[in-house]
Amino acid sequence: MDDTSLKFLKTLLGTPGPSSYEIAPARLWRVEAGKLTPAVRGDVAGNSYATLAGSGGPAVMLAGHIDEIGVIITHIDDQGYLSFDGIGGWDAQVFVGQRVTLLGRTGHIVGVVGKKAIHLMEKDEREKVSKIEDLWIDIGATSRAEAETHVRMGDPGVLAAGPLEMPNGRLVSRSLDNRVGAFVVLETLRLLKAGGPTAAAVTAVATTREEISHTGGGARTSASDLQAVAALVVDVTHATDYPGLEKRKHGEYRLGGGPVIGRGASLSSMVAEQLIEAAEAEKIPYSIEAASRDTHTDAEAIFNSHRGVATGLVSVPLRYMHSPNEMVLLDDVENAAKLLAAFCRRVKKEMDFVPR
């Protein structure tokens, strides 16, 4: 990955944008996309699109959701403390002692998550896990009136943990799930543009609201808008290369193992085979993940939109999912983009993706 792409990825990761509040990272994504193609736009659902025209082949959609998990203010008490709830799936233990960045009415507001000190707890309290309702956010205000000059109910926020490069090509940050997917689909366009025209018309989409959606979120509406014949969803999957995980139960996926290709429910077998063939032809390392039911990604929403879309899933192995310190290997991210680009180049005018 070159320095320009890495700088953009780190900027994207550091820009707060929880589900339904993705405006800032989506704006950055569209600005970067505009350097690759003039065909850039957004829609009312917050989705962002960037298209490279093809030479008469089928339309292909590349989707990576740009939202992240976060928090939302639900109450302000008379002393100026903020009650909050989670946006997306959280382990409440992660919140304890963390700093937060709130997207307040006057800009970004710094807060800290408060909890009763262990010295003041009774013995039975010490043995209980923390619940969100037992925590609060302290922004340094001394009254409700003062707090309300900065924030109000419904303001979102994220944990304040930006990107950090670590040894051996590791990158750590919050929001890698799935800002990295939105990055990969745009990086794919960069590779395709550098390699010359494709038969397929390829549209990268930074989709919204995946972390909270039970009805398809931005992925469903964007897929219906594009009417693509085939789609590749880019998300993250659990790396199982750290202590305490049973490979027989969770599979074997590691940092450095390359992108993970999904096979199974809500996924096109034709697209999966094309991805595998492309990976082997280009000598891109990969592994396969089986999905007996839902993939818990945007794949279901796209696969079942309008007349149906032949959908594939490519995942980047990630450690410590839904925490402020998620971890990926940059080589895996780069190889995911190379795999998507190789797939798109293999799409020919006569391909219809109907299983026969």
pLDDT of 15 strictly over 90 = yes
**CA distance linking residue 63 with residue 61, whole number of Å:** 6
> 107, 124, 159: which is the final residue of a domain?
159
Catalytic residues: 210
Q: Residue 120 and residue 102: Cα distance in Å, rounded? A: 28
121 pLDDT band, cuts 50/70/90, is confident
- Backbone phi, then psi, for 133, in 5-degree steps? -65, -15
Statement to judge: residues 75 and 58 lie in one domain: no
User: pLDDT-derived band of residue 163, with 50, 70 and 90 as boundaries?
Assistant: very high
Same domain for 179 and 266, yes or no, is yes
Residues of the domain holding 325: 3-68+174-346
- For residue 175, the tally of other CB atoms under 10 A from its CB is 28
Tokens of 302: 């796209």
pLDDT in the model for residue 1 = 87
Task: Please report whether residue 351 resides in a domain.
Answer: no
238 and 121 in a common domain: no
Q: What is the mean pLDDT of the chain?
A: 95
| CATH number, position 129 | 2.40.30.40
Q: Is residue 169 part of a domain?
A: no
Inside any domain, residue 167: no
Same domain, 155 and 274: no
Instruction: For residues 277 and 187, state if they share a domain.
Output: yes
Do 7 and 83 reside in the same domain of the chain?
no
Burial profile 230-264: b = 16 or more Cβ within 10 angstroms, e = fewer: bbbbbbbbbbbeeeeeeeeeebebbbebbbbbbbb
CA distances from residue 157 to 49, 93, 102, 195 in whole angstroms, order as listed: 25, 17, 4, 40
Question: Same domain, yes or no, for 245 and 262?
Answer: yes
Domain shared by 58 and 77, yes or no: no
pLDDT-based confidence at residue 303 (cuts at 50, 70, 90): very high
Asked if pLDDT for residue 293 goes beyond 90, the answer is no
Asked whether residue 353 is domain-assigned, the answer is no
In a domain, 168, yes or no: no
* pLDDT (average), residues 199-215: 93
**Contact by Cβ (8 Å): 78, 189:** no
Q: Return the pLDDT at 352.
A: 85
Same domain, 197 and 272: yes
Burial status of residue 127 (CB atoms within 10 A of its CB: 0-12, 13-18, 19 or more)? exposed
In this predicted model, what pLDDT tens digit does every residue of 21-61 receive, in sequence order?
Answer: 999 999 999 999 999 999 999 999 999 999 999 988 999 99
- 141 with 9, same domain: the answer is no
Answer whether residue 215 shows pLDDT above 80: no
Indicate the range of 28-42, 114-128, 206-220, 316-330 predicted with least confidence.
114-128
15 and 104 inside one domain: no
| Domain count along the chain | 2
Residue 165 inside a domain? The answer is no
CB 241 within 8 A of CB 255: yes
Single out the residue of 318, 304, 293 nearest to residue 234, CA to CA. Answer: 318
Of 128, 159, 190, the last residue of a domain is 159
Instruction: Look at residue 354 and tell me if it is in a domain.
Output: no
